[in-house]
Amino acid sequence: MNRARRSCANRTARLSLSAVASLLFCASAATALGESFEPPTPEELLFRDFFRMPVGSRGLEPSSRLIDLDEKLIRIRGYMAHQELPTPGVFILSPLPVELGDADESLSDDLPPAVVFVHFDGPAHPYVAGLLQLTGTLHVGPHDEADGHVSQVRAHLDASQLAAAVAPLSPTTGAPQQAPGRSP
Amino acid sequence: MRYRSVQRLWSSIVAGAALGGVACAVEAAPTISRLTPPSEKFATGNDSPVIARFLSGQRFDLQATVRPDAGTTVSSVSFKVDGATVATVTTGFSGNRSLVPATAIIATAPNSVAASVRAYSNTKPGMHTLTASATQSDGSVTTATGNFEVVRIAPGLGKVKNVIIMLGDGMGAAHRTAARIMSDGYAQGKAKGRLAMDMPVTGMVMTASLNSIVTDSAPGMANYVNGNKAANNQEGVFPDDTTDTFDNPRVEYLSEYLHRLKGTSLGIVTTADVFDATPAANAVHTSNRGNGTGITDQYLDDRNLTGLTVLLGGGRKWFLPNASNSTSPQNANGSQRRTSTDYVLPGDVVAGWGAATGKLDADRNLIGDFEAAGFQYAADKAALDAATDSSPLLGLFAFSNMNVAKDKIDGRRSASSVVDDYGFPDQPMLDEMTGKALEVLASTSPNGFILMAEGASIDKQAHLMDSERWMLDTIEFDRAVGVARNFAKTHPGTLVIVTADHECSGAAIIGASTVTNNALQSKNGTAALQGVVGVYDAAGFPKYTLADDGYPQSTDIDNKMLIGYGGNADRYEDWQTNAQPIHDTQQPFEKVAPLAGYPGISTNDSQVTGAPNRPIRDIGGNYFIAGQVAGEQAVHTASDIPLSAYGRGAYMFTGVMDNTDVFFKLGQAALGGVLSVNIDVMDKD
């Protein structure tokens, strides 16, 4: 590269770096002024869109939609599976309310094939009844879970996403509400 | 000698004797902490009750756990029966013998070992003394003594060719009675019809396991089909002191024993996941009923031992290859296979029993391997109906448990979408599965067969205290019993027994509603919902109407049957049928106009209005019933359960019997012939 071209390339690089720096500066300034970047919009995902239905004779066949949403931010509604022995850092989101009798049944259970293993940092989460809505990052593919299952679909939630997820929705307004819990 | 000298002399003598005695008590010797098969003689020194019994020639393993003194090792263990040496076992593996570290206790008992002799058998009827002598490295020897009995097979009358065991999981007397009230009805105190399981011969069965008055389904089944008690969670084995869950001392199953002696076939039919305890405890030996991968593998791999010819139920997830922890979406096929639940057998078990060694192969295509072995594969009812009778048959109709009878029937009636939501819209009923199994077994088994057919969700729904669902599952089970009964009528030499592994939930028919169904729906609160329970003569005779499909048109009738639970957990109760398997009726699969702004939420649920909403089953009735056990589910109970028998040899099954006694009656009937004047107990017509 001759000196003129090197000089041009260097100037272009400096301009690019300056542009990036400017953008970062603007972003910081905007944040400082109270403006914020729009967070990514989660994609709506329904359980019925997970796999080809009815289930095939040789196993589940992930839909193209499920595959496309791998590693993406999604929003999904379902019911926390009621487990006798919940696992730290994981609960199961199911399209139908189900109760798992872990002690007597082990893995001979009533879980539908299309479920989401919801992962978060923290101890086992107490059971929350009712329809839940959660937003998190989707992961598709087999994974050995600590409770003995092999999950096919997982959602990873950070702390704020978890807090939002475990507030069940009101059936009349559809808005999150406090979980009623179980009490006499 | 002066008095004090005598005292000192006497004290010295006493002290010396004491020291001598203490010195004798600390003489080194290993300890035999477990002797298998288990016996009261070993445990307490008493000759009775006899714990371990075997049919003549039935195979079982001998084993001893030896704990050596500190700083020593165990050099050999010798087993004797009635004073005659059976085998001497030294370190490592040699044919059907082994001496290996007792890995479950070695942290606290260093150098402990488990010494085994695999697949021993004895043909001499009567009591036998089992002696194990352990030698440790310093030459010390210790001996332990136990006993076992060999049960004689007597010459009898006509032999039983086909054994059909109908197993209602968790089905006690109340479950049967409720099914009769619902499906047949009563008039002025008389049942207007009978269940198929209301057979001419009845006995009562004690169901305790090796380690508890309250069993679970693993020993609950195994005890019937190998004549020996097993510990809870264990099937076809005795407990041991190694961490390997596939190396426990085995007891030969009825299927293995008769296949070896007579060439019989085995059929297993269940509405549960086929790896579950009841089906598995007819063919697979493991101390962990949760080992799904290894259990399902061994169904195929050891079919030469059991004669497995038919396997029908749920559990497709174990039969699909699990390639890896890859994140590639194409591998998300639902497989639950994993290495941690798979099997590889030690050399002595393989040598002694002729069992397959096994392999850690989560990526195995087990459906493909079944097909390669000549099995037809049916994934739904249509395929089941189309299957031929002349080849072995594998049917996997759900990923895990099949849907319960109510949800399958509602699906057929287009009254519910539960089976569609699960992705398995075309699941067969248990009677359809049993019928097909019998057709295949009859065609392929010239030497006879054993069929075990299980109504699995009687128990599962009783755990959930979902009264209507276990009642309908009991009716489904009874319809399958009817199929077996009809087979026995047309196939001489067939014995049908109907029994249960244990009772579940302490279910009791406490009465009937004193109000109409409409009125019941408006009741709220403890006083109101208790108040509708008609007891004594106020219960009357609940009247259900059956549809053409044989199931009630509705389970929410006026004056419906009401159920209480003696083994219950906390629950709410409103006496009404739950629309879904559990909990409320909202569905994220929208069926009606979505709530504005939240597409996908169904609001067409009149039961979900009001505060609080109905996220917890039946909470809307505000009638809370405190449980007698902690947790969320009702539990098994220790109650004896009724057994019914039909066909050849049925009269052998009267009286109060232990569940292990059933095995010896079956073995006697199949090999020696039935012991009864009336060898065939059939319908009068």
> Bigger pLDDT: A74 or B602?
A74
pLDDT at B593 over 70: no
Helices B467-490 and B173-183 pack at an angle, to 10 degrees, of: 90
| Per-residue model confidence as pLDDT tens digits over B443-457 | 999 999 999 999 999
> Bigger pLDDT: A110 or B617?
A110
* pLDDT for the residue numbered B595: 26
- Asked if B631 lies within 8 A of A84 by C-beta distance, the reply is yes
Give the contacts of B241 (CB within 8 A, at least 6 positions apart): B33, B34, B65, B102, B103, B104, B105, B112, B114
| Per-residue model confidence as pLDDT tens digits over B100-110 | 999 999 999 99
Strands (E), B82-123: 84-90, 92-94, 97-101, 113-120
> Bigger pLDDT: A128 or B268?
B268
Confidence of residue A165 (pLDDT cuts 50, 70, 90): confident
Mean pLDDT of chain B, nearest integer: 90
| Per-residue model confidence as pLDDT tens digits over B150-181 | 999 999 989 999 999 999 999 999 999 999 99
Count contacts between A and B (CB, < 8 Å). Answer: 213
pLDDT at A154 over 60: yes
Q: What average pLDDT does the segment B410-429 reach?
A: 93
Residue of A nearest to B280 (CA): A108
Confidence of residue B343 (pLDDT cuts 50, 70, 90): very high
> Bigger pLDDT: B468 or B610?
B468
Cβ contacts of A66 on chain B, cutoff 8 Å: 329, 332
Q: Is B331 touching A (CB cutoff 8 A)?
A: yes
d(CA A71, CA A91): 19
* pLDDT for the residue numbered B150: 98
pLDDT at B682 over 90: no
> Bigger pLDDT: B515 or B614?
B515
d(CA B224, CA A13): 82
d(CA A180, CA B622): 13
- Asked if A108 lies within 8 A of B582 by C-beta distance, the reply is no
pLDDT at A167 over 80: no
Strands B308-314 and B376-378: unpaired
Which three-class secondary structure state does DSSP give residue B385? helix
pLDDT at A10 over 80: no
Pick from A48, A56, A105: CB nearest B589: A48
Which spans in B252-391 are helix H? 254-262, 277-280, 292-301, 303-306, 347-353, 366-372, 381-386
- Asked if A169 lies within 8 A of B341 by C-beta distance, the reply is no
Cβ contacts of A137 on chain B, cutoff 8 Å: none
Helices B217-226 and B254-262 pack at an angle, to 10 degrees, of: 30
Mean pLDDT of chain A, nearest integer: 78
Shortest Cα distance from A13 to chain B (angstroms)? 38
Topology adopted by domain A43-165? OB fold (Dihydrolipoamide Acetyltransferase, E2P) (2.40.50)
Q: Is A53 touching B (CB cutoff 8 A)?
A: yes
* pLDDT for the residue numbered A106: 77
CATH 2.40.50.870 location in chain A: 43-165
| Per-residue model confidence as pLDDT tens digits over B37-66 | 999 999 999 999 999 999 999 999 999 999
* pLDDT for the residue numbered B165: 98
| Per-residue model confidence as pLDDT tens digits over B459-472 | 999 998 999 999 99
Counting residues of chain B whose pLDDT is more than 90, the rounded percentage is 84
In what helix (H) or strand (E) does residue B42 lie, and over which residues does it extend?
helix B40-43
Q: What average pLDDT does the segment A145-149 reach?
A: 92
Tokens of A13: 């690089």
ipTM of the complex: 0.85
pLDDT at B440 over 90: yes
| Chain B residues 275-304 with CB within 8 Å of chain A | 275-277, 289-290, 292
pLDDT at B662 over 80: yes
Shortest Cα distance from A35 to chain B (angstroms)? 26
Are the CB atoms for B112 and B165 separated by under 8 Å? Answer: no
Q: Is B114 touching A (CB cutoff 8 A)?
A: no
- Asked if A171 lies within 8 A of B605 by C-beta distance, the reply is yes
Which spans in A61-155 are helix H? 64-68, 102-105
* pLDDT for the residue numbered A3: 44
* pLDDT for the residue numbered A103: 67
* pLDDT for the residue numbered B675: 85
Strands A73-80 and A43-44: parallel
| Chain A residues 114-153 with CB within 8 Å of chain B | 114, 129-131, 139-144, 148-150, 152-153
| Per-residue model confidence as pLDDT tens digits over B250-279 | 999 999 999 999 999 999 999 999 999 999
Q: What average pLDDT does the segment B215-243 reach?
A: 97
